[in-house]
Structure 1
């Protein structure tokens, strides 16, 4: 295959997949455009960069198209630009309603590309559903990022520790500290509503020298770790 051109390899796989001869040109043109391969059609495969080869491999997997295509970490080992390009392509593949099973480790990539997500743990499928369903079922509250007013390194650390102590003293919140650094702190709020937390912080914002704060949903990475901890406990 390395000594075929990109165009020849696409035509070859199209014929192997029994694409009708009258449609083969349009199929190859469509898949080439979808995977941004048009500038490389006359290039030999062995001349391609790693990122372009991965796009070609994904295109070859999907040409036809098959009933189901399985892509094993198609963005691993490529530079950030190539990864972003591949993610955009995979989003277009989903929009084209081509059934694709994608394996990947970066959770941000899964959140961006997939419309349904399964999490594997110790070789077993631990959960399956839409991203919002998994967040609703497995998330524990939400995350708040707090930044105090910047004065000096020592003072900033003292102020953010004061914020930490204040939040931990609010038993109704069930707070877990995620990270403390310089003038910022990240905390997991396992109980209480965002509205109640907003009200509490606004009441004490001046006393605690809080400059800004933001609230976000639990991330997929946190959900993965939460499921892992639960399964570890169940196995013990």
Structure 2
């Protein structure tokens, strides 16, 4: 190998090593920035549990209906059981409500009334659960439709 070829090869190797070193520095800088941004967001916004407690104060009621023609009557019954319930979604066989916590207490009565509605309206099934953080965020952003 000639001296010129060896110098060119050495130059390419040094350039490659320098580029990899720069790339490594940039990756480390991005990692540090992301970690700092995460800490900043946590300080500014709050922990997930804090946000869930602040905005997720309620329940999500999902009802699968066997007979779609009964949804209007069922809706009236849900508002009788939970006066401040807000319907979020309505499909022929699925109704979804946001129920404020104060409407659902005590839970034993809520479940008793839901079981009674299940029998009266021949519901396929229902789910009554605490809101997740994502659901609380959707509701807070105004995606719910007051029914």
Same fold (TM over 0.5): yes
Q: Which of 32, 45, 50 pairs up with 1:133?
A: 50
Structure 2: distance between partners of 1:157 and 1:116: 48
1:192 pairs, out of 104, 119, 135, with: 104
Residue aligning to 2:10: none
> TM-score normalised to the size of structure 1?
0.43
The equivalent of 2:3 in structure 1 is none
Q: Note the C-alpha offset of 1:215.
A: 2.6
Equivalent-residue separation in structure 1 for 2:110 and 2:93 (angstroms)? 20
1:218 maps onto 2:128 in alignment: no
Uncovered stretches (5+) of structure 2, i.e. residues with no partner: 1-14, 143-147
Q: Which structure would you say has the larger Rg?
A: 2
Structure 1 residue corresponding to 2:87, chosen from 174, 177, 192: 177
Distance (whole Å) between structure 1 residues aligned to residue 72 and residue 58 of structure 2: 22
User: 67, 78, 87: which one pairs with 1:167?
Assistant: 78
Which structure is richer in relative contact order (CA contacts within 8 A, separation 6 or more)?
2
Aligned to 1:209: 122
Contact 1:148 1:160 in 2 (8 A): yes
DSSP 3-state at the match of 2:129? strand
* Runs of 4+ residues deviating >6 angstroms: none
Quick one: distance in 2 between partners of 1:8 and 1:196? 70
Structure 1, unaligned runs of 5 or more: 18-59, 71-98, 103-114, 119-124, 150-155, 230-236
| Equivalent position of 2:23 in the other structure | 13
SS of the aligned residue for 2:119 comes to coil
Please state how far the C-alpha of 1:184 moved relative to its aligned partner: 0.7
Distance 2:130 2:140 in 1: 16
The answer (yes or no) to whether the contact 1:145–1:185 under 8 Å persists in 2 is yes
CA RMSD, 1 decimal? 3.5
CA distance in 2 between counterparts of 1:141 and 1:227 reads 12
Q: When you count helix as a share of all residues, which structure comes out higher? A: 2
User: What is the TM-score with the length of structure 2 in the denominator?
Assistant: 0.63
**Aligned length, in residue pairs:** 125
- Whole-Å separation in 2 of the counterparts to 1:179 and 1:167: 14
1:69 to 33, 40, 52: 33
